[in-house]
Amino acid sequence: GEDVEQSLFLSVREGDSSVINCTYTDSSSTYLYWYKQEPGAGLQLLTYIFSNMDMKQDQRLTVLLNKKDKHLSLRIADTQTGDSAIYFCAPEGGGSQGNLIFGKGTKLSVKP
């Protein structure tokens, strides 16, 4: 079945850049999303990229997509302690309904 893989943990120092990587198996995804989840909270949509794009920049966030390798990454510039959370990569599953396939998430810890 469809699968999404992410590293479980990432630790960075405040002010550094964070790069969260994701690989996926479904090549038919039209949109690929990044969500942020803070403890006890719902999912916050951070950004997304259309499958015919290689890169998308949105303020401190940069998304890179390598469709050939089915690799997606999220770079957070000037990482702050408030960025500490779990980040989920979520490509669309196959089919027209647009349901998302989530990995287990990457827990980002930002040290002051």
Partner 1 sequence: DTGVSQDPRHKITKRGQNVTFRCDPISEHNRLYWYRQTLGQGPEFLTYFQNEAQLEKSRLLSDRFSAERPKGSFSTLEIQRTEQGDSAMYLCASSITAEQYFGPGTRLTVT
Indicate the helix (H) or strand (E) that contains 77.
none
Q: Applying CB under 8 A, which part among 12-20, 27-35, 57-65, 70-78 lies near partner 1?
A: 27-35
Cβ-based nearer residue to partner 1, 19 or 41: 41
List the one residue from 39, 59, 69, 99 that touches partner 1 (CB under 8 A): 99
CA angle 32, 60, 33 (to 5 degrees): 10
Cβ-based nearer residue to partner 1, 2 or 54: 2
- Of 25, 29, 13, 30, nearest to 83 by C-alpha is 13
- Of 109, 100, 105, 104, nearest to 48 by C-alpha is 100
Within residues 55-94, the interface with partner 1 by CB under 8 A covers 88, 90, 93
28 binds partner 1 (CB under 8 A): no
The DSSP secondary-structure symbol of 3 reads -
Q: Which residue(s) pair with 40 in the sheet? A: none
Q: Which residues bind partner 1 (CB under 8 A)?
A: 4, 30-31, 33, 35, 41-45, 48, 50, 88, 90, 93, 95, 97-105
